[in-house]
Amino acid sequence: METALDGELTEHLAYEHSDRDGKSVTTGANERNGTRPKTVMTHVGPVTIDVPRDRDGSFEPKIVRKRQRRLDGVDQLVLSLNARGLTTGEIAAHFAEVYGAKVSKEKNQTGVHRGQRRAGRGQVG
């Protein structure tokens, strides 16, 4: 997720993180300005991510928008991973790897069941 957010900022600034040729504060060019932590709620609980910032504050991320507190697509992701045959333990390991969030198998199983119920009501997708 953080990699995707960084990619959005790269597109916004029109240069790669390591490519600073011709980009300086004296020319008035917008630049990267570190990250800020943001906690979003998922079906497995709160997850903290680092959202990149730019100097003039014009960067508007699309994946996790400003003031967004809930990550809705995570439920769909868990259901999709389960449908592809991943066990709840494998999904929990995936979340730990990708989001840095430790998720118990029990919470993950609850999320899978919730997603299946929502899918049955036509609410997922």
| Domain range summary for the chain, segments of one domain joined by + | 1-71, 72-125
In tens, the pLDDT along 97-109 reads 765 555 555 544 5
5, HSE (Cβ side, Cα atoms, 13 Å): 22
Question: Regarding predicted confidence, which is higher, 103 or 67?
Answer: 67
**Whole-Å CA distances, 46 to 15, 93, 97, 119:** 32, 16, 16, 23
Model-wide pTM > 0.85: no
Q: What stretch of H or E contains 99?
A: helix 88-99
| pLDDT score of 100 | 56
Q: How many CB atoms lie within 10 A of CB 47?
A: 19
Gap between the Cα atoms of 22 and 34, Å rounded:
19
pLDDT at 105: 53
**Residue that wins the pLDDT comparison between 108 and 44:** 44
Q: Give the pLDDT band of residue 82 (cuts 50, 70, 90).
A: confident
